[in-house]
Amino acid sequence: MSMINYASREINCKIVYYGPGLGGKTTNLEYIYNKVMPDTRGKLISLATETERTLFFDFLPVDLGMIRGFRVRFHLYTVPGQVYYNASRKLILKGVDGVVFVADSQMERMDANVESMHNLYENLAEYGYDLRRIPFVVQYNKRDLPNAAPVEELEGALNPDRVSCYEAVAVRGIGVFDTLKAVSKLVIKALG
């Protein structure tokens, strides 16, 4: 849930990038971090291990300016990709305002995508959240690879509710800001 600080006139919103390991969650945040103005971003914190690119989270506050007299700041997080780190994944989801599911478009990663999506629903349910009631978008990353599954196939397996989806090549920045803008608008609308 958004944190509203009336004394400082600030609203802090949490967006979590969720998905399978090495699907592009960290790449999205790194691209955003490198492209936004330095005075509108905070410090990017990345914790990596030998086997997992992001063990706990990436944290990137992005200042959006004023809305109704309040400064709105988004805090962007990623979860560790491996379901093995489920306790960390669950903890990072606590208090979430919006979710971006980053799917790896490669055909051989379909099972990992489906497993991660089921894990997202389960973890949100433990907090009493319903993914159909919170701001949520899907990003199909790695669309440039020759073994990318057709979007229709990805949609059928991962997006039964047909929420907004975006094709991306995060390493080149394609679709990264489209995805962020879409989830940000949904979060702001939910504040309304």
Q: What's the CATH number where 158 sits?
A: 3.40.50.300
Predicted pLDDT of residue 88: 85
Q: Note whether 141 and 104 are within 8 A (CB).
A: yes
Predicted pLDDT of residue 55: 42
Contacts by 56-61, CB closer than 8 A, 24 or more apart: 56/80, 56/88, 56/92, 57/88, 57/92, 58/17, 58/25, 58/26, 58/29, 58/30, 60/29, 60/32, 60/33, 61/12
Q: Note whether 40 and 74 are within 8 A (CB).
A: no
Residue numbers of the domain that contains 85: 3-191
Predicted pLDDT of residue 56: 45
Spell out, as residue ranges, where the chain has pLDDT lower than 50: 55-56
Give me the number of domains the chain comprises.
Answer: 1
CB-facing half-sphere around the CA of 171: CA atoms within 13 A: 7
Cα 76 from chain centre: 7
Q: Is the pTM of this model over 0.85?
A: yes
